[in-house]
Amino acid sequence: MFRVLESAICAHGHSRGIEGTLVRRGDADYDAVWASMLWNGLKPRRFPELIVRAACEQDVVEAVRLARSHGLCVAVRSGGHSWCGSPLRSDGMLIDLSRLRRCEVDPAAGTAFVQPAVTGDELVPRLVEHGLAFPVGHCGSVAVGGYLLSGGLGWNSRALGPACRSVYEIEAVTADGEAIRCNEDEHPELLWAARGAGPGFFAVVTGFRLRLHRHPGAISSITYGFPLADVEEAANWAAETARELQPTVESTLVMATASPDTTALSPRPKVLTLTATAFADSSDEAAGLLRPLESSPFAKRALFRDTDAPASLCALNHASASFWPPQGRYAADTLWSQAPVGTLLSRLRDTIENAPSDDSLVLAPVSPASQDEDLLGDMAFSVLGESYVVPYAVWDDPADDGVNTRWLRSAMSSVEPLGTGHYIAESDLTADPSRAERSFAPDHWQRLQTLRARYDPYGVFHSYLTP
């Protein structure tokens, strides 16, 4: 295979028709390029035969045609997190879209065109200057490509729906190397799949057209911290109170080591933190939206609190990024469930208490996704439960890889019997062969298989990663 590729690639890492660079396994710079393909410091030992760093949309067309002509199976990366490293596949071709960063906002139409490597940190300021918003991911460094393809549970998504709902058109390159547009009139079924299929999508998206939303006039957050001994009671209180709150209030529970600015104790204890963020037209309205939490007697049992803290989307992204510093080593998995969130977190309490790394955490969005069918229609993305938890193993030392990945699997095994599915964006697809299928409603999964057979009958694109 290497000799076949060598004949197709000119000197200096280029191929006729491809403006970007091509790096073959065995080239002097392969190891450095390979390492840069995954943000996670923990990198799976999977090695594509050829990495194509596309410089433009046409490069993607040429790369897919090159892969077809040489029998190379294609994987794609935009530049997000991908905890389990889905883009890294042994053999085949990896198409790197990280140079496709065009972002165009049309304030009059309330729309935007973004290429897959545009990050939330780049998109939000462009929108704010026009009084517009979009439910970007909670970590601003995440590129929109994989985020939107996986559904996108982002800021204010209880009110706005998953981010993919606001994608009304994509530009894509199909398995036969054809550049097409997909919208309600052209290839609508491929657009349906692009709204949630995640890393098993059977085309390469080179651009997304987004419907934008009015930017909130005020954003305000309130935070409470509780001892882990109260985790079940506190979590269920948060979930019950959330039912009284408007959809424009987003609440998240986190079990983790207390931050230095909340306690002087050493060692710092593990705590349950509830943060609720209101997206409103005014500061007074935001305060009113959060009042059911503040007025609750249970709130007085908090170890610490930070109330009525004004915020912005940029500040929210910055705060979230502190949980996942660059160059760290990470493993994560997800679980949807019909069990109360307090039940799930109580099962995980001992797990987080005994985590080998003080940086590891368990995140549980309260009412993680809207149940409104109007916000969930016409998309592959599936809401599979009332509750949702994500354990994250976070550490620094490569010598601790084994103990931390085992910790993650142990955490998941404690709640797996209560599970109804997974979220394809952050699921550990290497944990079990059923992970991908269980990330979709059964009829959505079957429809995805039918569409894959239609649009990629010869298997040009890798399907979902498996153990």
CATH number at residue 346: 3.40.462.20
Helix (H, G, I), strand (E, B) or coil at 6: helix
Q: What is the 3-state secondary structure (H, E, C) of 374-443?
A: HHHCCCCCCCCCCEEEEEEEEECCHHHHHHHHHHHHHHHHHHHHHEEECCCCCCCCCCCCCCCHHHCCHH
Token pair belonging to 152: 């996108």
Q: Sign of the CA dihedral 46, 48, 52, 54? A: negative
In a domain, 320, yes or no: yes
323: pLDDT strictly greater than 80: no
H helix or E strand, kind and range, residue 189: helix 188-194
Q: Sign of the CA dihedral 195, 197, 201, 204? A: positive
In a domain, 450, yes or no: no
Same domain, 201 and 269: no
Strand residue runs (E) in 151-246: 167-173, 179-182, 204-211, 213-214, 218-227
Please give the backbone phi and psi of residue 96, each rounded to the nearest 5 degrees, phi first: -95, 120
Token pair belonging to 81: 């997190």
Q: What percent of the chain has pLDDT over 70?
A: 95
Same domain, 283 and 407: yes
Same domain, 237 and 328: yes
In a domain, 460, yes or no: no
In a domain, 454, yes or no: no
Same domain, 276 and 362: yes
The residue assigned the tokens 């462009």 is 126
In a domain, 395, yes or no: yes
pLDDT tens-digit readout, 337-387? 999 999 999 999 999 999 999 999 999 999 877 667 777 889 999 999 999
The Cα–Cα gap between 75 and 55 comes to: 17
Please give the backbone phi and psi of residue 59, each rounded to the nearest 5 degrees, phi first: -60, -35
Same domain, 320 and 187: no
The Cα–Cα gap between 374 and 384 comes to: 16
Q: Angle CA(132)–CA(79)–CA(99) in degrees, nearest 5?
A: 85
Amino acid code (one letter) for 173: V
Same domain, 152 and 265: no
The residue assigned the tokens 């972002």 is 103
The pLDDT score that the predictor gives to residue 329 is 96
> Ranked by mean pLDDT, which of 293-302, 315-324, 423-432 comes out on top?
423-432
The pLDDT score that the predictor gives to residue 424 is 96
Q: Which pTM does this prediction carry?
A: 0.93
Same domain, 66 and 127: no
11: pLDDT strictly greater than 60: no
> What is the signed CA dihedral for 247, 261, 42, 24, rounded to 10 degrees?
80
The pLDDT score that the predictor gives to residue 16 is 62
Same domain, 198 and 236: no
Best CA proximity match to 221, nearest among 242, 252, 243: 252
Token pair belonging to 114: 């973004």
In a domain, 459, yes or no: no
Please give the backbone phi and psi of residue 5, each rounded to the nearest 5 degrees, phi first: -65, -40
Length in residues, the chain: 467
Same domain, 131 and 247: no
65: pLDDT strictly greater than 50: yes
The pLDDT score that the predictor gives to residue 367 is 81
pLDDT tens-digit readout, 68-119? 999 999 999 998 788 999 999 999 999 999 999 999 999 999 999 999 999 9
In a domain, 442, yes or no: no
In a domain, 330, yes or no: yes
Residue 205 has, within 13 A of its CA and on its CB side, a CA count of 36
The Cα–Cα gap between 367 and 341 comes to: 9
318: pLDDT strictly greater than 50: yes
Same domain, 190 and 335: no
Q: Which residue has the higher pLDDT, 392 or 295?
A: 392
Structurally, the chain folds into a number of domains equal to 3
Token pair belonging to 300: 């007085």
Same domain, 31 and 111: no
Q: Sign of the CA dihedral 326, 327, 328, 330? A: positive
Helix (H, G, I), strand (E, B) or coil at 279: strand
The Cα–Cα gap between 89 and 104 comes to: 32
Same domain, 68 and 200: no
Contacts of 371 (CB under 8 A, 6+ apart): 383
Please give the backbone phi and psi of residue 451, each rounded to the nearest 5 degrees, phi first: -70, -35
Q: What's 79's domain CATH number?
A: 3.30.43.10
Q: Residue range 120-138: average pLDDT?
A: 95
Best CA proximity match to 426, nearest among 439, 443, 412: 439
Domain boundary residue, one of 71, 96, 121: 96
- Per the structure, the complete domain to which residue 26 belongs is given by 2-96
Helix (H, G, I), strand (E, B) or coil at 370: coil
The pLDDT score that the predictor gives to residue 1 is 47
Domain boundary residue, one of 75, 96, 117: 96
pLDDT tens-digit readout, 170-210? 999 999 999 999 999 999 999 999 999 999 999 999 999 99
pLDDT tens-digit readout, 278-291? 999 999 999 999 99
The Cα–Cα gap between 308 and 286 comes to: 9
Domain boundary residue, one of 96, 116, 142: 96
Integer angstrom CA distances of residue 72 from 44, 66, 95, 122, 461: 20, 8, 11, 33, 9
The pLDDT score that the predictor gives to residue 338 is 96
The Cα–Cα gap between 317 and 311 comes to: 10
The Cα–Cα gap between 405 and 392 comes to: 10
The pLDDT score that the predictor gives to residue 17 is 85
The Cα–Cα gap between 344 and 416 comes to: 9
pLDDT level of residue 22 (50, 70, 90 thresholds): very high
